[in-house]
Amino acid sequence: MPTNSGAYGENDATDNKSTGSTDVNEMVTNAAAGSANAGSTDETLNAHVKGGNTGNGSDGKTGKGKKKRWIWASVAAIVVVALVAAFVVIRNNQKASIAPAQVHTADSVTVGLKLAPTNLDIRNQSGSSLDQVLVGNVYEGLVARDSNNKVVPGLAKSWEKNADGTSYTFHLNRGMNFSNGDKLDASDVAWSINELIAKHYHDSESLMNFKAVTATDADTVRLDLTAPYANLLWELACRPGLVFDKNANYDMKTQAIGSGPYTVAKFVPNDSITLKANPKYWGVHKAVTPIIVLRYFGDDNAAVNALKSGDVQVLAPVTENLAEPFVKDSEHYRVAAGDDTDKFVLAMNSKGAKTSDLRVRQAIRYAIDHKQLIASRGGADKVLGGPIPSLDPGYQDLTGLYPHNVDKAKTLMKEAGYTPDHPLELRLTYANTYGTELGDQLRSQLKPIGIDLKVNVVEFSTWLQDVLKNKDYDLSLVDHNESHDFSQWTQDTYYYNYSNQKVKDYYNQAMAASSDSQRDALLAKAARVVSEDAPADWLFNYRITTAMKNGVSSFPLNLNQTLLPLYNVRYMTPVK
């Protein structure tokens, strides 16, 4: 395993050069560089230098007058070259001394976010907003994940597993400590995971096949399983692998004592969190910006106005359609999209009276124009033809299974007994958190193939009761944002009402795989079967649009709604 001390193996940094703008750091470097050549380009002076030290008169003898004039000309040339060179050196020194003073690195950066945590108790409180802020910034895990959702070293610098994949040995970094000064060693790691299991803290069930964890010495931890589990390391990069101070006594709802590059200086529930650089941080990811303020906006327009006014320097996310003014004002702002694992799933009740017919489900998939849906949202999202997004293991491009084909959809519907003149009535039930636009678009797209779609937008509590619990629906719409969540397609009792033994077998084999490549190949097979069965249509893979002031650098783009490493974020502004 590679060695990489810190919470994150890499940061999904903002790359201004890729958009044609110039990073402030690059501007300073270029300004300080100056001219590389001080040589004269005057052809007359060059000719004299090349002409030698004698000249021929008309009488064929040495011309002393010409030689004297040549000597003075040469002296003059040398003086001019020296003066030019001196001027260039002085000019470059002036540039080198004043250029860095032309920009200022801010002592704080304010970031506008959307989902606010009600408390900081990451062991008991659900919600991705806590992962977003605390994981990696304040609390660190035994291992971590990078901007491509891959496992990288964290508190453990390396690890190995035994031949049958039932025992992992983790080798910890040395010299680690918590923000209160307490030493962090293997005993804290073992205690944290044992507490997770014993007290059933949030996500404890994700450590499948867990048997025991022990500190074999101060720098080594062994974790044993009852059977192989291919996703173990990734799960340990999330909440189950977080390490807490076994000796600390504090209120986890309002305080946090971790080992990361930041500490929580202030927490205002549902409003803001102020992070302060941890002066006792042990690793290589020391905070660049002393203060990071996270402000939460429930209203999109208020968030946009905050960026316009300068109250925040970053918005993550910003609704793409509301980002247009920032896109147009590239002199002051940068807008970019990053990948995520959100899947907007149009579920089709596999045991429904009308949707149990495979032909109907297939027709719906052919009828949907995914590109049109994405374009209406601003164009950043990606087409997704199956249940695994590009940042998850087992991804493959399945968009070719059901390409947009209205004629084929009509043929299938006719075989099922329905036409535009004799339509099939279906109910689309989904929570009002998603608005009405998607429902209206789907109604319009399905009408030409002989489906009369009744859109029923309800309260989330109603959706939980009617759809999730009672499975009383034809079609439903949900943003499934969890990573590594393919197992839902193996659960017969889940609201999809979908069951396929081949899918279950592939998945179980994948979770017992001895290598990541074997796991990924089996998951890809399972995902293809699910997509072919059409228990759902995957409308799009949501991508996160982030808007920021020019001068902000190293703000993560990928996964920033659940993974937001802030240690390298900075804001550089010109000095007026």
Q: Is it true that the peptide bond before 317 is cis, omega within 30 degrees of 0? A: yes
Instruction: Determine the residue type at 166.
Output: T
pTM: 0.80
CA distances from 502 to 359, 488, 527, 532, 535 (A): 21, 14, 11, 12, 15
> Biggest alpha carbon distance in the chain?
118
pLDDT of residue 104: 87
State whether the Cα torsion 466-469-471-475 is positive or negative.
Answer: positive
Instruction: Show the 3-state SS of 384-449.
Output: CCCCCCCCCCCCCCCCCCCCCCHHHHHHHHHHCCCECCECEEEEEEEEHHHCCHHHHHHHHHHHHH
Q: Do β-strands 552-553 and 424-431 pair in parallel, antiparallel, or remain unpaired?
A: unpaired
How many other CB atoms sit within 10 Å of the CB of residue 332?
A: 11
User: How far apart are the C-alpha atoms of 12 and 555, rounded to whole Å?
Assistant: 7
User: How far apart are the C-alpha atoms of 36 and 381, rounded to whole Å?
Assistant: 46
How would you label 61-94 residue by residue, b for 16+ Cβ within 10 Å and e otherwise? eebeeeeeebeeeeeebeeebeeeeeeeeeebee
DSSP 8-state class, residue 207 = S
Strands (E), 108-219: 108-113, 143-145, 151-153, 156-161, 167-172, 210-217
Tokens of 320: 């793409």
Tokens of 78: 């040398």
How many other CB atoms sit within 10 Å of the CB of residue 209?
A: 15
Q: At what angle do helices 501-511 and 516-533 cross, to 10 degrees?
A: 160
pLDDT of residue 102: 80
- Residue 371 CB partners (closer than 8 Å, separation 6+): 383, 404
Q: Do β-strands 103-105 and 570-574 pair in parallel, antiparallel, or remain unpaired?
A: antiparallel
Q: At what angle do helices 64-98 and 24-33 cross, to 10 degrees?
A: 160
Which of 99, 106, 103 has its CA nearest to residue 29?
Answer: 99
3-state SS, residue 50: helix
User: How far apart are the C-alpha atoms of 213 and 162, rounded to whole Å?
Assistant: 15
Which of 167, 5, 211, 146 has its CA nearest to residue 483?
Answer: 146
Q: How many CA atoms lie within 13 A of 481 on its CB side?
A: 14
Which of 237, 275, 228 has its CA nearest to residue 256?
Answer: 275
Stretch (H or E) spanning 549:
strand 544-549
pLDDT of residue 289: 98
pLDDT of residue 576: 67
Tokens of 182: 């307490």
pLDDT by position in tens, the chain (length 576): 444 444 444 444 333 333 333 232 322 233 333 333 333 222 332 333 333 333 333 333 333 343 334 333 443 444 444 444 444 444 444 433 334 458 889 999 999 999 999 999 999 999 999 999 999 999 999 999 999 999 999 999 999 999 999 999 999 999 999 999 999 999 999 999 999 999 999 999 999 999 999 999 999 999 999 999 999 999 999 999 999 999 999 999 999 999 999 999 999 999 999 999 999 999 999 999 999 999 999 999 999 999 999 999 999 999 888 999 999 999 999 999 999 999 999 999 999 999 999 999 999 999 999 999 999 998 999 999 999 999 999 999 999 999 999 999 999 999 999 999 999 999 999 999 899 999 999 999 999 999 999 999 999 999 999 999 999 999 999 999 999 999 999 999 999 999 999 999 999 999 999 999 999 999 999 999 999 999 999 999 999 999 999 999 999 999 999 999 999 999 998 776
Q: What is the dihedral of CA 127, 129, 130, 132, to 10 degrees?
A: 130
Which of 366, 394, 369 has its CA nearest to residue 383?
Answer: 369
Alpha helix locations (H) across 51-123? 64-98
Q: pLDDT by residue (tens digit) across 241-286?
A: 999 999 999 999 999 999 999 999 999 999 999 999 999 999 999 9
Q: How many CA atoms lie within 13 A of 7 on its CB side?
A: 29
pLDDT of residue 320: 83
